[in-house]
């Protein structure tokens, strides 16, 4: 039955071809035969390993090669600076065995930067096979110090490094302090300082922080050949303090001019900072009745006392002109700044004044003006800070501070285009448990 079916099928296929000529019939049959052979060319269980094989090994002549090294060629090595390193120990680990070079580096004034070793930084040295110093590279403070061996003597040069800028992100939660939170998030201390400065007109970091407060930050870092050198500017930040959200983005509107604004374009900078110290604690507040520890009597305390170690940096809380700079009775070393016409700020018990602070000098908000001390009627090191309007004492922690000007209508389109990406980044970071993202 199967054979008859095949015959009928073949007859049906060949009948139309027969009309076209015998050559086409033969071609069709050839294709059909080849197809069958291709499909069933090797039967199962066919033995294929009976073919004789022979291994031939032949020696081939290769052209002669040689590694020609110049007499001046050397080997580069690098070592990370350790905490107890000296230049001598570091050069020894770099494989430098060159008493003349070590003697030169010790005597050469222009090579003194090599002695300012910073743990964690990297020094690179190029040496000959015998350990002779050919070149040395060290970066510190954004300056590359290079030592090159010339024909007759070494040559030392210094130049700014071409830094690679990277934008990094991080977030954290407050459990005890801002510095502890940034340390836990592996963020540099300079980021914590900038956060405190950015939000200092809205948040008093001495008394307003709450356990559970959180922050996110976008900031710059600068690298040289993959090695971190320094942290740059905070570009955007969000701080949630006692369930209230504060946001800030950096907007540069001039060559050397810029500021922090909310995403809506409101200037977050107030005319005055809430505190003249970056981090401290309040020991005496603004009150009408306080027992004076030195005078041993009850009297009004018309300012805020901040406990801080001797030498802590004191900042101007607003732009102004120095009206008083020197010794003033119970205030000890005192600075008085006049802001506009009716505002004055007083900074007492200072151990010393910053360079350039004298009567008539202009200062900017946040500028260093003096150092914490215990001069005058003081039982210990602290800063006495007063805020006066028309020479009337005000509580600096409660007085409403005037705001700085917002983004103008002319600047708004450019500002919104610059701020939008930062707003998206802060939104993506919100609620995440991100320590740091490079």
Give the CA angle between residues 191, 194, 197 to the nearest 5°.
Answer: 155
Total count of domains within the chain: 3
Rounded to an integer, what distance in angstroms lies between the CA atom of residue 317 and that of residue 273?
5
Same domain? 255 vs 291:
no
Tokens of 192: 């914590």
Encode pLDDT of 354-384 as tens digits: 999 999 999 998 899 999 999 998 888 999 9
Residue 415 lies in a domain: no
Same domain? 349 vs 299:
yes
Boundaries of domain holding 256: 165-269+430-437
Same domain? 308 vs 264:
no
Higher-pLDDT residue of 405, 46: 405
Residue 189 lies in a domain: yes
Residue 256 lies in a domain: yes
Same domain? 156 vs 171:
no
For residue 37, the model assigns a pLDDT of 41
Encode pLDDT of 8-23 as tens digits: 444 554 455 445 555 5
Same domain? 217 vs 230:
yes
258, 251 in Cβ contact below 8 A? yes
Question: At residue 44, does pLDDT exceed 60?
Answer: no
pTM for this prediction: 0.55
Encode pLDDT of 144-198 as tens digits: 888 888 887 888 888 888 888 999 999 999 998 888 999 898 998 889 989 988 8
Question: What b/e sequence results for 257-288 when a residue is b if at least 16 CB atoms lie within 10 Å of its CB, and e otherwise?
Answer: eebbbbbebebbbbbbbbbbbbbbebebebee
């Amino acid at each position: 039955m199967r054979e008859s079916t095949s015959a009928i099928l073949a007859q049906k296929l060949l009948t139309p071809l027969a009309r076209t000529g015998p050559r086409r019939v033969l071609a069709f049959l050839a294709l059909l035969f080849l197809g069958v052979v291709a499909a069933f060319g090797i039967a199962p269980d066919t033995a294929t390993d009976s073919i004789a094989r022979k291994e031939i090994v032949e020696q081939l002549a290769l052209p002669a090669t040689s590694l020609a090294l110049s007499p001046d060629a050397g080997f580069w090595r690098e070592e990370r600076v350790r905490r107890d390193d000296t230049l001598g120990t570091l050069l020894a680990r770099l494989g430098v065995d060159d008493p003349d070079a070590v003697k030169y580096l010790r005597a050469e004034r222009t090579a003194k930067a090599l002695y300012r070793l910073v743990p964690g930084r990297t020094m690179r040295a190029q040496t000959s096979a015998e350990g002779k110093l050919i070149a040395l590279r060290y970066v510190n403070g954004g300056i590359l110090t290079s030592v090159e061996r010339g024909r007759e003597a070494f040559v030392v040069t210094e130049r700014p490094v071409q830094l690679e800028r990277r934008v990094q992100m991080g977030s954290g939660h407050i459990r005890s302090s801002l510095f502890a939170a940034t340390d836990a998030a592996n963020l540099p201390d300079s980021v914590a300082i900038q956060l405190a400065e950015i939000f200092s007109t809205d948040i008093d970091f001495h008394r307003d922080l709450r356990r559970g407060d959180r922050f996110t930050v976008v900031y710059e870092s600068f690298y040289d050949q993959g090695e971190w050198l320094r942290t740059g500017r905070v570009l955007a930040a969000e701080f949630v303090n006692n369930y209230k959200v504060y946001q800030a983005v950096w907007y540069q509107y001039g060559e050397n001019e810029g500021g922090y604004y909310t995403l809506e374009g409101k200037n977050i900078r107030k005319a005055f900072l809430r505190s003249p110290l970056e981090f401290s604690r309040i020991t005496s507040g603004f009150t009408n009745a306080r027992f004076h520890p030195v005078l041993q009597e009850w009297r009004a305390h018309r300012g805020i006392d901040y406990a801080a170690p001797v030498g802590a940096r004191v900042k101007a809380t607003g732009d102004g002109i120095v009206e008083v700079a020197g010794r003033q009775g119970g205030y000890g070393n005192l600075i008085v700044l006049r802001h506009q016409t009716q505002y004055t700020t007083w900074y007492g018990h200072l151990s010393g004044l910053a360079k350039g602070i004298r009567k008539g000098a202009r200062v900017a908000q946040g500028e260093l003006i003096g150092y914490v001390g215990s001069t005058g009627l003081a039982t210990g090191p602290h800063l006495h800070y007063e805020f006066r309007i028309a020479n009337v004492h005000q509580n600096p922690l409660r007085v409403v501070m005037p705001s700085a000007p917002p983004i103008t209508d002319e600047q708004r389109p450019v500002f919104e285009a610059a701020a939008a990406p930062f707003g998206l980044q802060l939104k993506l970071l919100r609620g995440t448990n991100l320590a740091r993202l490079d």
